[in-house]
Amino acid sequence: MLVAGIIAVGAARLLFDVGSILLERAPASLDVSALERLVRAAPSVEEVVGLHAWELDSGEAVASLVLVTGEHDLARLAGVADELKHALHAQFRIAHATIEWRPRANARPCC
């Protein structure tokens, strides 16, 4: 009976982890408010209209960001995006981030 109980507890934990991954839930350890503050503080970012973070497998998180900018220099925006990706990895262990820039004139909320 004891062995069956230990197996049941382990199976329940595994099922919870698998469910979280399949449902693309944000990692429990991720402070989304702090992540958004970091992104808002970056140069050229005027507004965050989309922020999605989820876990691919236990421990590897990914994020998708939709940011509004008034900047027109694509090279500058690419540099800011690279800096943001490094900061997200260093501070939040985000393994991969996709950053989409939208002009201020077309700042509709993300789908």
Name the residue range of residue 77's domain.
26-106
pLDDT at 23: 46
Using pLDDT thresholds of 50, 70 and 90, give the confidence band for residue 69. Answer: very high
pLDDT at 14: 62
pLDDT at 77: 97
Residue 29 in 3-state DSSP?
coil
Using pLDDT thresholds of 50, 70 and 90, give the confidence band for residue 60. Answer: confident
Q: Which stretches of 16-80 are assigned E, i.e. beta strand?
A: 47-57, 60-69
pLDDT at 105: 81
Measured CA to CA, the distance from residue 25 to residue 67 in angstroms comes to: 21
Q: Indicate which CATH number applies to the domain containing 86.
A: 3.30.70.1350
Number of domains in the chain: 1
This prediction has a pTM of 0.72
